[in-house]
Amino acid sequence: MQALLASLNIIRQPSIDVDESDEGPVLSAQDWLINRQLGIELGFEARAHLLGEDDFDPYNEPMLLSQVYFYLEHDEVKPYKGPLPFNIGLDEAKNTVRASLAAYESTRRSYLRDTWEMPECRLTVSYVDNGARIGFVLCLMRPPVMPADDADAALVPTIDQIARVMGKPLADPEVRLTFAPLRLDQNLEEDETGSVASFTRHIGIELRFRYPNGGRDQILANVLLYREHEVEGARWPGELPKGLLFNDSPEQVMHKVGRPPDDVLDEEFDGYATWHFVEYSLQVKYSTIENYILCVQLVATSASLAA
């Protein structure tokens, strides 16, 4: 690794960003080292953080190379001139890139960019000028899978059960019965707008209870179902609404839901699509780099409150 950094004329070593003024909390467990003249950037991540561990010594934890960007068109960065991974040509268009990676077509997830699961790594290609040219090529280390424990997974309610209690009061017997196996009472914590029950560490679900306008009783307002690592915990092991799967691309999500979203917000690294249904509103957060679902949120609607 030191030889690689030296060959790229990168002097600085990767490090964990720690807030020295407040007893040293970790601000970021990732670091990026770039050579703007060569058009290449290396991304590093603390080993413990990559493995989903939140208790580690930030001053001694090893930093692992987890991603490499090859920039062909990027602000304030000169184009990369060397050979690209997997024999991708420097001047290829989107259709040509896809054709050259046809052997891995079954793994492709697409939206704003294309992503393939290659044997060695996860590969993302970004395009410019409506797919006429490559913007960057990114090789990512796949994070370890973090499934829920089988015993914990057996306790989770179905999506239909969750949908039936959206908007109902915290004290409602059906709410209590639905989440009783998760030990709801023992995990409730008050916050500034109501209460939260977080089970993200073991089964990737968070329940948010809020006071409706003018109401005195907290209602189940939000249910969030997470992919592993999104909140440093295990993947939600149960069903997702509308037959969704965490590995669905944004294109597949919109196809499965069956109609265009009511709202869409796409940003540099992630995006949000929202649909409003009678029983609940559905918001899907997805990665626009790796093209898969990060979080699915069910939101109580006025119709569910009145039910």
Q: Which two tokens stand for residue 126?
A: 């970004």
Residue 82 DSSP SS3: coil
258 contact partners, CB below 8 Å, separation of at least 6: 242
d(CA 5, CA 204): 37
d(CA 188, CA 205): 13
147 pLDDT higher than 60: yes
Domains of the chain, residue spans: 2-140, 150-306
Neighbours of 144 (CB within 10 A): 10
Residue 130 DSSP SS3: coil
What would the pLDDT profile of 231-270 be if each residue is shown by its tens digit? 878 999 999 999 999 999 999 999 999 999 999 999 999 9
Question: Which has the closest alpha carbon to 111: 99, 87, 94?
Answer: 94
What would the pLDDT profile of 260-285 be if each residue is shown by its tens digit? 999 999 999 999 999 999 999 999 99
pTM over 0.75: yes
Let me know if 209 is exposed, middle or buried by CB neighbors in 10 A (0-12, 13-18, 19+): buried
Looking at residue 304, what is its pLDDT?
A: 55
Let me know if 4 is exposed, middle or buried by CB neighbors in 10 A (0-12, 13-18, 19+): exposed
